[in-house]
Amino acid sequence: MGHAHCCTVLLIVFLALQQAAGFWLFDVFPSSLKTQNKVPNNSTPPVLIVPGTAGNQLEAKIDKPSRVHWMCYKKTDYFFTLWIDLNMFMPIGINCWIDNIRIVYNRTTRKSSNSAGVSVRVPGFGQTYTVEFLDNNKLSGYFNNMVTHLVNMGYVRNEAVRAAPYDFRVAPNEQEEYFARLKKLIEDMYERDQQPLYILGHSMGSNYVLYFLYQQTQAWKEEYIKGFISLGAPWGGAVKTLRVLASGENLGIPLVSNIKIREQQRMTTTNPWMLPFEEAWPADHVFISTPSFNYTRQDYQRFFKDIDFEDGWFMWEDTRNLTAGLPPPGVEMYCFYGVGLLTPVTYIYDDQFPNADPIDYVYADGDDTVDSLSLGLCKRWRGKQAQPVHVKEFRSMPHMEIVLNRKVINVVQSILEGRYREEDSTLMN
C-alpha cells in the first residue's frame, strides 16, 4: 500500500475517525472559522508557533535495502507525506509506515538516525500550513482555528504569524540545527516587524521552547522575545508516556491495535524524555502497578528492562536533565492549561503486562492527558524572575481542545492586543 492515495480508503478512515474516542492528537473535523478579508495590522507583535508532539507534517524519500511487506514501496524518486497520510492506518499500510518513520538508536554514540535508506524532512519551516492541518486533504486540523483567528485580527500568514515545525521523533539534545534555525527565524521576524515577538507553544512544543530559552543570553531574550504563551505544557512530563511505552496507545485510531502502534511509539527519543520528572512527583508514587512489581520514578531502569525496551533507559538518561530543576525562562510567561478532568496517574495491569492493556486506572486532576501537578509547575516561577508569570487554568479543558477553543483563542488575542487582565485565581469555565 505504501504511500499511495486511495480516495475510497481515505473516506473509510475519515468516517471511522469521527466515531473514535480519545483521538487526542488532532481534530478530524475541518475548521469552524473562516478567513475574512482584513487589512494587515502592523501594530500587534508577531507570533511564532511551536507545535506539540506529532503536531506538524513530516515527509520522506526512500531507497531501502529491503522492505517489510511486498506491498510496501522500496524506492521513491520524490518526497511523500510520512505524517500524516490517513491511508497509513490501514492494516498493511501501518507496517510500511512504521518501518519508514522509525528511528534507530545507537547506544555507543548515544545518537539516533533514520531507518536505513530513509530520508526524513520537515516541510514548511517558517510557514503555518504544516501545523494548521497535518494532512494534505485538510481533514486533520490542528492550529488552523488559531491561525485563522489571527488572520482575522489582521495578521498575515507566513509574515506576522509563522510556525517552527520540527522532527518530533527526536529530543532537543539532537536538535542543534533546528534550534539554530529557530533563533535565526526569530531574529528575521524581529527585523521585519521591528518589534519583539510572542512564542506560542502547545504541549511538548512548550518544553522545546523552554529548552531553547535556556540556551540564550538574557540580553538576547530581552531584545527579541515579548513573551512566551504556553498551552497545556507537560513541564514535569506525563504519566501517560509510561503506558504508551509499556503497552501502546492507539489514540482511538480504528483498525490499529495498541500493541502494533507501540512499535512506532518506542522508536522516538522524545517519549522517554517525557517520563514523569522528579519535580512533579514524589519518589514513592506508583505509576505502573502489576501483580509482580510497582514502578515508581526510581524504577525506570527496571521498567525499561521488564518491557524489553532497554534502549529507552539510555534515551532517558540522555534527556533527563535537559530542563533539570525547571529554572524560570527569563521572559514574560503566560501559562495556560486545562483542569477538572479525570487524568490517569496510575495504570494497573494484570499478569499479561506489558503485552495487554491496563485493566484499571487511578485518576487525579488534569486535562485528560497531563496531570495538573505537571501542568502547574510554571507557578514556581512566580517571584523567581524579573518578568511577570501569568497562570490561568481553564476548567474542563481537554489537552487538545485548548488549541481549538474560542475562549482560549480570545485570551491569546487579548495578550497580543495588550489588554490581558490577570485572573490567576479564577478558573475559566
| Secondary element (H or E) of residue 287 | none
CB 235 within 8 A of CB 375: yes
Tell whether the model's pLDDT for residue 37 goes beyond 80: no
Tell whether the model's pLDDT for residue 288 goes beyond 50: yes
> Which pLDDT band holds residue 250 (cuts at 50, 70, 90)?
confident
State yes or no: is 284 an active-site residue.
no
> Which pLDDT band holds residue 176 (cuts at 50, 70, 90)?
very high
pLDDT of residue 252: 65
Catalytic residue among 318, 367, 368, 371: 367
DSSP assignment string, 165-189? ---TTS-GGG-HHHHHHHHHHHHHH
pLDDT of residue 260: 84
Angle at 272 (CA atoms; ends 240, 366), nearest 5 degrees: 25
pLDDT of residue 378: 98
Q: What is the mean pLDDT of the chain?
A: 90
- pLDDT tens string 98-138: 999 999 999 999 999 999 999 999 999 999 999 999 999 99
pLDDT of residue 87: 78
- pLDDT tens string 262-274: 988 999 999 999 9
DSSP E strands in 51-195: the ranges are 58-62, 80-83, 103-106, 111-114, 118-121, 161-163
Rg for the chain (alpha carbons), in Å?
A: 21
Percent residues over pLDDT 70 in the chain: 88
Catalytic residue among 31, 112, 140, 203: 203
pLDDT of residue 429: 58
> Which pLDDT band holds residue 191 (cuts at 50, 70, 90)?
very high
pLDDT of residue 169: 97
Rounded Cα distance between 382 and 197, Å, is 22
Q: Beta-carbon neighbour count of residue 32 at 10 Å?
A: 12
| Secondary element (H or E) of residue 389 | strand 389-395
Tell whether the model's pLDDT for residue 292 goes beyond 80: yes
Q: Does residue 98 come out as left (phi exceeding 0), alpha (psi in the -120 to 50 range) or beta?
A: alpha
Q: Which amino acid is at 387?
A: Q
Beta partners for residue 163, in sequence order:
49
**What average pLDDT does the segment 379-385 reach?**
98
State yes or no: is 203 an active-site residue.
yes
Give me the helix-helix angle, 176-193 and 204-214, nearest 10°. Answer: 80
State yes or no: is 306 an active-site residue.
no
**What average pLDDT does the segment 21-34 reach?**
46
Highest mean pLDDT (candidates 10-19, 252-261, 354-363): 354-363
